Structure 1
Amino acid sequence: MKITELLKTDTMVLNLESTTKDGVIDELVQKLDTAGRLNDKADFKEAILAREAQSSTGIGEGVAIPHAKTAAVKTPAIAFGRSKNGAEYESLDGQPAHLVFMIAASEGANEDHLQTLSRLSTLLMDESFRSDLIHAESEDEIITLIDKKEKEKLGEEETEESRAEEKDTDTPSILAVTGCPTGIAHTYMAADSLKDKAKEMGLSIKVETNGSDGVKNRLSAEEIEKADAIIVASDTKVEMDRFDGRPVLVKGVTDGIRRPEELLTQAKNGEAPIYKASGGGQEESSGDSSGRKGFYKHLMNGVSNMLPFVVGGGVLIAISFFFGINAANPEDPSYHPFAEALSVIGGENAFGLMVAVLAGFIAMSIADRPGFAPGMIGGLMATTGGAGFLGGLIAGFLAGYVVILLKKALAGLPKVLDGIKTILFYPVLSIFIVGMLMHFVIIEPISIFNTFLENWLDGMGTGNIVILGLILGGMMAVDMGGPINKAAFTFGIAMIDAGNYAPHAAIMAGGMVPPLGIALATTLFKKKFTKEERDAGFSSYFLGAFFITEGAIPFAAADPGRVIPSIIAGSATAGAFAMLFGNGLPAPHGGIFVIPAIQGGSPWLYVLAILIGTVVTALLVGFLKRPIRS
């Protein structure tokens, strides 16, 4: 398939109006939608922005290639935008972007589509080709230029394949692996950049690509054994254990694009460190350029894996309350066996495992598979010992770093013992160390602190409680699913675990308001939203009702200066009123499903708190946003 089968004149904007990254993305998304290439404009834009959040697709040299692979794409396509003055795009070299190609791959895109889309990214490495595109005078001329360049590229690939067949007995002196989260553009740009520079330097190289169409040009065991060095330029998971004992240079995919000569020189000069495998199978390349590293990355790994237990268990508990608040208690007159079963499944089992799962996956994020068992056991000890959620967090990080230290301590053992490290030494020693520290050092003081915190919250006056609700509710809207949102949500779960249900009532109210407020704004102020935004706004009623704060992200991303302050104000208001009305929520998730479970206040007053926050957000958005120009 040719590039020009995906890039048509009706998906080109030769004179981009915007000079900002967000504006450029908006223009090209709109162009694709107008041309009928998208199923859902808002979802596609959200996928584009999610990729940008991992690392900017402004690759430098005046080029940006935003891309996404999502079900929001109806037909695989490419949109082209040109800005002769340049748009600020957070490019790797700090230069403005003049050429922007937006790649839209459908979730079920076939291999031909994916190869064609990736081929475009490699063509843009040629400076003269970029110059020709900038100076082209019409859409048809651009099509002609791309056709000509693509034919040259395909001819070069055929020549390289022929040479490779003639030299199939040669082992490359340097190997490389490239990969990026989406696997469409950066993966292949890094591969071509390394290959082109290696050719200039007279080096023999083979590059394995980990793209969205799978692993291509896979490195063989013989090649790995004989190669002088291996370069891993990847921001996603690749198979690393196969490189055990070999010199490996681990970098981000953008390093492969921008700094190929530096990487190849380091590899050639023997400056790559010897890689030590963990025995965990697949490991994430440490060259992640997204910035999500350290504490936050490990915590989010634990929280994301814990959420199914929180959501599933919470909703089942809420359903049990439909039979009566005490219907799960066999000694209560309202007792119902089905309510008891729901409570046992959701509360005793799902919630009983919640903290252990959190700790286990935090530890696994730090130390790979060997961290999972001590993390789970430490988390379970925290639950049964009264240390609760905070104890589970400590157990997860403790287990992860204990395993890291054990790996270093046992690194000098004879290689013949490598096979039993992961099945004997690591689990026995790590579980022993973590268990002893939890039992004798950590559980008791954390349990005492939890009791103090619970008593302190119980003793707060009305004014202080309202301020706490204001803060927690507002935090839920600051980044809608990001670290601040998750910090508030995590605090709420910890308080539920400690027996104080009021903070989480404010948190869920604050989390429901952003999509509900946006939905109401699109209903009341139709002239300030496009048809696509109004359609997305209708779906936000359901997202908000189910406590899915992320439903407001597309609107916030499109107009952050007006939307984000509006939703923070509404969420903070809802949180404050929930506290003022004395509401408490024992179920951590579920939205409208768990409102009947409200304790310490009327469920109707809790609904009123949410409605007040929703109206505040809607009115502020309607007041601040400008009407859509016809």
Structure 2
Amino acid sequence: MKITDLLKKDTIILDLKASDKSGVIDELVSKLDEAGRLNDKEAYKNAILEREAQSTTGIGEGIAIPHAKTAAVKTPAIVFGRSSQGIDYEALDGAPSNLFFMIAASEGANQTHLETLSRLSSFLMDKKFRQKLEEASSAEEVMAVVDAKEQDEAAEEETTDAGASSRILAVTGCPTGIAHTYMAADKLKETASEMGVSIKVETNGSGGVKNRLTKEEIEAADAIIVAADTKIETDRFRGKPLIQVPVGKAIHQPEELLNKAIEKDAPIYQGDGGSAQDEGPQEEKGRTGFYKHLMNGVSNMLPFVVGGGILIAISFLWGINSADPESADYNRFAEMLNTIGGGNAFFLMVPVLAGFIASSIADRPGFAPGMVAGLIAISSGVEGADGGSGFLGGLIAGFLAGYITLLVKKAMEVLPAIFDGLKTVLLYPVFSIGITGLIMLLINPPLTTIYTGLSSWLESLGGSNLVLLGLLLGGMMAIDMGGPINKAAYTFGIAMLDADNFSFIAAIMAGGMVPPLSLALATTFFKNKFTKQEREAGKSAYALGAFFITEGAIPFAAADPARVIPSVAIGSAIAGGLTMLFDIGLRAPHGGIVVAGLVEGNPLLYLLAILVGSAVSAVILGFLKKDLTKE
């Protein structure tokens, strides 16, 4: 069904009178009722409000698409409304909305309204399409704009299916699966559209795999781009030109990647990292090797660290010894939280890290030896050392298990085909677990000594040394905002958290909150330095920074790296140094403002450190960036 089958001249309002969200809904519902599309106006309005209660349909970029499927609808329809001044519709990006499409689907409409919603949402991501709607002077012109867009899309799909010169597939993924994954996907799709290239992008985000590539699509593809810093299932791409790069490259250099894919300038993937041609540039290879394996372990470990750490921190609200039955502060609920977080989630942290590093190297056969080696790592083997070799041992255990498993698999290639069924269920586990376990039992005692010595040395640091370390860690969080330097600092903080040192993660979280917060402040107080779009994005950056999502500053850094990156790095370093100077500790490894009440030390001083760092960066940005009129 076409959008113009549902949108008619009698359901178009070019000048909405409403000034708030409630008023917009009333006005659009009334228009549908006046046009005879509803059986029951109040019932339909209630259905719209119920949908809004689940989550706002203000999708951002000045757009809202309220919708409902109910028996109160007589005839499926769409009503379009436009506001010249913009209305606060509780949009996801916090910006006012000025284009409204309300979809009314009848009870028996099956999935028609959802398909229409999806297609309409896609159209509205096109800036030129939105601009034409904003400039339309009549209902007839609105209809013409929508109809022309549908015809253009249909012609493009027909051309793509019938005679596209290139069929490109892509997969994106980052360790946390929050920001980079989807930014890379959007950038590839946007650039491919500008180049007239057919592309489908699969995202491997925190909510799982979306838009999964099918076997038929892979077979028909000319080349595949994997832009990921975490483990991606690649065996399905055997025999295809495969470009493997960090996720950041898809964000910053999408056209270069697409041109390589079009020209099939990539090795033919043979599985297990092998290729029939050369391995490609060393920069790309390196980020898909050690770094990818490490990030696969870290990203799968994070839920245990974050969930366990916050539960442990909450348990201390009843007292530092509230989980101890012998203490006067003992509280049964606090003990339960501590047992869940520390005795279980944190206990599994290192084995999970090792298991997923090993599985990234050797696929599924590496997981069991990695887990076992990780468990051995957290058993000390050294008198007086309770935590074993901890995070350090887990890293070594993961890589050791992975590469030993690869050697075992290689050695067993000589066996007759009759043994293939026994390899994965019997031979690989026995030999890889046995060999890895024996080596770990031998090396874990000296690793434990090194780890405890390093932890003790870091704990002994004081004064200027500790502040300098805080400056370094805070600054690292802002250099690449979610990239390898940022992840190196965060991984170090987790390692120290595992060693019961809580100062480092406090400095790291403060440093990570500063970039988006400083950009939010800069766009608020230096408005003449930023475009309207940047100022609107700055409003969202307040929330992103408050919740420790450093990636909220990436759009600004990508647009003006020479000014933005140094500015935010200085502020982040100051925030990290001040937390060390104020002797702040934090048992929760994530959450930002959510875990502010769990700060060890003075929480007001911790807040001050973050605000000072953000303010310094904002002022530097205001000084460095030129007025838009002067530029």
TM over 0.5: yes
Q: Would the aligned equivalents of 1:191 and 1:256 in 2 still touch at CA under 8 Å?
A: no
- The residue number in structure 1 matching 2:431 is 429
- The residue number in structure 2 matching 1:585 is 586
Q: 1:340 aligns with which of 332, 335, 338?
A: 335
1:402-413 → structure 2 map (5 Å cutoff): 402-413=404-415
- State the alpha-carbon separation in 2 of the partners of residues 559 and 191 from structure 1: 28
Tell me the secondary structure at the aligned position of residue 214 of structure 2: strand
- State the alpha-carbon separation in 2 of the partners of residues 597 and 542 from structure 1: 19
Tell me the secondary structure at the aligned position of residue 235 of structure 1: strand
1:486-497 → structure 2 map (5 Å cutoff): 486-497=487-498
Indicate how the Cα distance of structure 1 residues 584 and 256 shifts in structure 2: closer, same or farther if over 3 A, else same: closer
Tell me the secondary structure at the aligned position of residue 613 of structure 1: helix
Q: Would the aligned equivalents of 1:391 and 1:446 in 2 still touch at CA under 8 Å?
A: yes
- State the alpha-carbon separation in 1 of the partners of residues 500 and 119 from structure 2: 41
- The residue number in structure 1 matching 2:361 is 366
- The residue number in structure 1 matching 2:565 is 564
Tell me the secondary structure at the aligned position of residue 410 of structure 1: helix
Are residues 1:379 and 2:374 paired? yes
- State the alpha-carbon separation in 1 of the partners of residues 120 and 426 from structure 2: 45
- The residue number in structure 2 matching 1:398 is 400
Indicate how the Cα distance of structure 1 residues 500 and 320 shifts in structure 2: closer, same or farther if over 3 A, else same: same
TM-score (normalised: structure 2):
0.62
- The residue number in structure 2 matching 1:179 is 169
- State the alpha-carbon separation in 1 of the partners of residues 357 and 158 from structure 2: 38
Q: CA RMSD in A?
A: 4.3
- State the alpha-carbon separation in 2 of the partners of residues 322 and 432 from structure 1: 44
- The residue number in structure 2 matching 1:611 is 611
- State the alpha-carbon separation in 2 of the partners of residues 583 and 71 from structure 1: 49
Are residues 1:463 and 2:464 paired? yes
Tell me the secondary structure at the aligned position of residue 586 of structure 2: coil
Question: What per-residue deviation string (whole Å, max 9, x for no partner) do you get for residues 157-198 of structure 1?
Answer: 9xx9xxxxxxxxxxxxxxx996322596879x99999xxxxx
Are residues 1:621 and 2:621 paired? yes
Identical-pair percentage: 52
Deviation at 1:361, TM superposition (A): 1.1
Indicate how the Cα distance of structure 1 residues 287 and 427 shifts in structure 2: closer, same or farther if over 3 A, else same: farther
Q: 1:297 aligns with which of 283, 292, 295?
A: 292
- State the alpha-carbon separation in 1 of the partners of residues 495 and 119 from structure 2: 35
Deviation at 1:475, TM superposition (A): 0.4
Indicate how the Cα distance of structure 1 residues 444 and 472 shifts in structure 2: closer, same or farther if over 3 A, else same: same
- The residue number in structure 2 matching 1:485 is 486
Q: Would the aligned equivalents of 1:250 and 1:287 in 2 still touch at CA under 8 Å?
A: no
Question: What per-residue deviation string (whole Å, max 9, x for no partner) do you get for residues 506-559 of structure 1?
Answer: 111111111222222222223323333333222222222222111111222222
**Counterpart residue identity of residue 418, structure 2:** V
- State the alpha-carbon separation in 1 of the partners of residues 358 and 153 from structure 2: 36
Deviates more, 1:398-407 or 1:343-352: 343-352
Indicate how the Cα distance of structure 1 residues 412 and 113 shifts in structure 2: closer, same or farther if over 3 A, else same: farther
- The residue number in structure 1 matching 2:416 is 414
Are residues 1:597 and 2:598 paired? yes
Are residues 1:552 and 2:553 paired? yes
- The residue number in structure 2 matching 1:75 is 124
- The residue number in structure 1 matching 2:500 is 499
- State the alpha-carbon separation in 1 of the partners of residues 602 and 449 from structure 2: 32
- State the alpha-carbon separation in 2 of the partners of residues 502 and 71 from structure 1: 49
Tell me the secondary structure at the aligned position of residue 223 of structure 2: strand
Indicate how the Cα distance of structure 1 residues 324 and 519 shifts in structure 2: closer, same or farther if over 3 A, else same: farther
Question: What per-residue deviation string (whole Å, max 9, x for no partner) do you get for residues 184-241 of structure 1?
Answer: 6879x99999xxxxxxxxxxxxxxxx99585374699xxxxxxxxx998322467747
- State the alpha-carbon separation in 2 of the partners of residues 177 and 239 from structure 1: 18
Deviation at 1:566, TM superposition (A): 1.2
- State the alpha-carbon separation in 1 of the partners of residues 532 and 555 from structure 2: 14
- The residue number in structure 2 matching 1:388 is 390
- The residue number in structure 2 matching 1:215 is 214
Are residues 1:257 and 2:262 paired? yes
Indicate how the Cα distance of structure 1 residues 470 and 255 shifts in structure 2: closer, same or farther if over 3 A, else same: closer
- State the alpha-carbon separation in 1 of the partners of residues 465 and 299 from structure 2: 31
Question: What per-residue deviation string (whole Å, max 9, x for no partner) do you get for residues 124-173 of structure 1?
Answer: xxxxxxxxxxxxxxxxxxxxxxxxxxxxx85x69xx9xxxxxxxxxxxxx
- The residue number in structure 2 matching 1:519 is 520
Point out where structure 2 has 5 or more consecutive residues left out of the alignment.
3-59, 66-90, 96-117, 130-149, 172-184, 200-208, 227-231, 244-257, 274-278, 381-387
1:95-494 → structure 2 map (5 Å cutoff): 154=162, 179-181=169-171, 182=185, 214-215=213-214, 217=216, 233-236=223-226, 240=235, 248=239, 250-252=241-243, 257-259=262-264, 292-385=287-380, 386-441=388-443, 443-494=444-495
- State the alpha-carbon separation in 1 of the partners of residues 237 and 522 from structure 2: 55
- The residue number in structure 2 matching 1:541 is 542
Deviation at 1:374, TM superposition (A): 0.9
Q: Would the aligned equivalents of 1:325 and 1:597 in 2 still touch at CA under 8 Å?
A: no
Q: Would the aligned equivalents of 1:546 and 1:591 in 2 still touch at CA under 8 Å?
A: yes
- State the alpha-carbon separation in 1 of the partners of residues 120 and 479 from structure 2: 27
Deviation at 1:397, TM superposition (A): 0.8
Aligned length: 449
- State the alpha-carbon separation in 1 of the partners of residues 218 and 571 from structure 2: 54
Indicate how the Cα distance of structure 1 residues 218 and 481 shifts in structure 2: closer, same or farther if over 3 A, else same: closer
Q: Would the aligned equivalents of 1:114 and 1:213 in 2 still touch at CA under 8 Å?
A: no
- State the alpha-carbon separation in 1 of the partners of residues 167 and 63 from structure 2: 36
Indicate how the Cα distance of structure 1 residues 518 and 119 shifts in structure 2: closer, same or farther if over 3 A, else same: farther
**Counterpart residue identity of residue 478, structure 1:** I
Indicate how the Cα distance of structure 1 residues 410 and 582 shifts in structure 2: closer, same or farther if over 3 A, else same: same
Deviation at 1:119, TM superposition (A): 6.4
Indicate how the Cα distance of structure 1 residues 304 and 509 shifts in structure 2: closer, same or farther if over 3 A, else same: same
**Counterpart residue identity of residue 262, structure 2:** I
Tell me the secondary structure at the aligned position of residue 489 of structure 1: helix
Q: Would the aligned equivalents of 1:328 and 1:336 in 2 still touch at CA under 8 Å?
A: yes
Deviation at 1:305, TM superposition (A): 1.3
Indicate how the Cα distance of structure 1 residues 537 and 350 shifts in structure 2: closer, same or farther if over 3 A, else same: same
Point out where structure 1 has 5 or more consecutive residues left out of the alignment.
3-31, 44-68, 81-110, 123-152, 161-175, 194-209, 221-229, 264-271, 279-285
Deviation at 1:489, TM superposition (A): 0.6
- State the alpha-carbon separation in 1 of the partners of residues 471 and 156 from structure 2: 47
Q: Would the aligned equivalents of 1:301 and 1:365 in 2 still touch at CA under 8 Å?
A: yes
Deviation at 1:444, TM superposition (A): 1.0
Question: What per-residue deviation string (whole Å, max 9, x for no partner) do you get for residues 272-316 of structure 1?
Answer: 89x5789xxxxxxx9899653111111111111111222222222
Q: Would the aligned equivalents of 1:233 and 1:254 in 2 still touch at CA under 8 Å?
A: no
Q: Would the aligned equivalents of 1:474 and 1:571 in 2 still touch at CA under 8 Å?
A: yes
- State the alpha-carbon separation in 1 of the partners of residues 615 and 562 from structure 2: 19
- State the alpha-carbon separation in 2 of the partners of residues 190 and 436 from structure 1: 56
Tell me the secondary structure at the aligned position of residue 326 of structure 1: coil
**Counterpart residue identity of residue 124, structure 2:** T
Q: Would the aligned equivalents of 1:190 and 1:254 in 2 still touch at CA under 8 Å?
A: no
- State the alpha-carbon separation in 2 of the partners of residues 213 and 494 from structure 1: 34
Tell me the secondary structure at the aligned position of residue 379 of structure 2: helix
**Counterpart residue identity of residue 352, structure 1:** F
- State the alpha-carbon separation in 1 of the partners of residues 170 and 284 from structure 2: 10
Q: Would the aligned equivalents of 2:222 and 2:264 in 1 still touch at CA under 8 Å?
A: no
- The residue number in structure 2 matching 1:22 is none
TM-score (normalised: structure 1):
0.62
Deviation at 1:603, TM superposition (A): 2.4
